[in-house]
Structure 1
Amino acid sequence: MEDAQLLWDFQQMGHTARPCSVIVGLGSHDLGVADVAAGLYLRGLAPVVVFTGATSRTTVERMPRGEAEHYRERAVELGVPEGVVLVEPRARHTGENIRFSRELLAERGVDVASVLLVSKPYEERRAYATARRLWPGVEVVCASAPMSLAAYVDSIQDARLVLDMLVGAVQRLMVYPAQGFMVATDVPRPVVAAFERLRDQGFTSRLVAP
């Protein structure tokens, strides 16, 4: 867990939420993303919310109508007006989350100068690097649930899933820039070493081919 903590801490961007043109909630297995996005909207930090995401192998059973649709339902339950929520139901990875959300907002005539990008806590830096590459010219402010790693694992009730996801998120920071999927990120040597130890211990289900 010490190695996992290094990866967790590195993913945190440390941004302070502020008013932006739009809130974009990135689909995943974690319904807490919708909670954070709803809270930001209810604080008056953006006039429009986009939820983006289809389903994946980890969400097809718990979110059969699609991640974005389940996020929308949750946000409305929390008090977000239905009329301000846009649903992007096709995206299957972070790059598509960004690209399809950008296209949807353009189609709706929403002028975007800045985006509050809401993700799981351990994917802030990955989401940021992807948005910087695929949505140039837009200021990106990252947000996620303010939780410790231990509290997050308790909330998900699946430590292996969280560690697998952590390892996969950091690996993408190292291999995706060369493939054009995100901007380059300087990954410190201690983080690389922690990643390698966790990888070698078998937390590999979310790795991609380099």
Structure 2
Amino acid sequence: MRVSSVKGPHYIDNLAKRRRRSFVVRMSLVLIGVILCVVGIFYGLFYSGWFDMNDYEIFGARNIDPAVIKENLNTYRDYKLFKFLPIGRNILFFNTNATESVLLEKNNLLRTIQIEKKYFHTLSVTLVERDALGVWCFENYIGDHKCKYFDADMKTWGDLDKTTGFILLTVEDYKTIDRQIINKEYFDGMIYGVLWRLNQLLFQQSR
């Protein structure tokens, strides 16, 4: 006598359905877990405040106002990607090299600037200011404040009114120009003349 199985086609179909249902449930749980992890990381990075820059330490400021540097830094701190993602204030994503370059371009008084991250909420900023070699007056410049401080790198800064009371070396530049930029050939000639004159004075005193 042949023994037939009690597990008919309906049993097999139900088993397959249960397995599919179990697979869907597991995959749904995995997907929910991944979404929760992504949301948690997203929140932790940008909205929790765990990595927010909220303090600046400014060192080396002599003539430049530290508030100016802080204002420049706040410009980058307030940057939002896609106008809603506050990536700028996150110290992990803050680009120190790019910020240093931009701050040097904006502030001619600075010779160097170094920005260091002090995790997780502070930026340490070390400034080295330029030392004025003298005052350069662009006599034919059309506009106010014809005179500026200058240094050995031919960088100029500050807006000065023309007076006769400058204690520093004063150069009167009568070239026709529309921008206040020092001509290198003129500058080299001026430096040579000053050094030659100093050498003559030292020679006379040594006699």
TM-score over 0.5 for the pair:
no
Give TM-score, length-normalised by structure 2: 0.23
Bigger Rg over Cα: 2
Q: Is the helix fraction higher in 1 or 2? A: 1
User: Which structure exhibits the higher relative contact order, with contacts defined as CA atoms closer than 8 Å and separated by 6 or more residues?
Assistant: 1
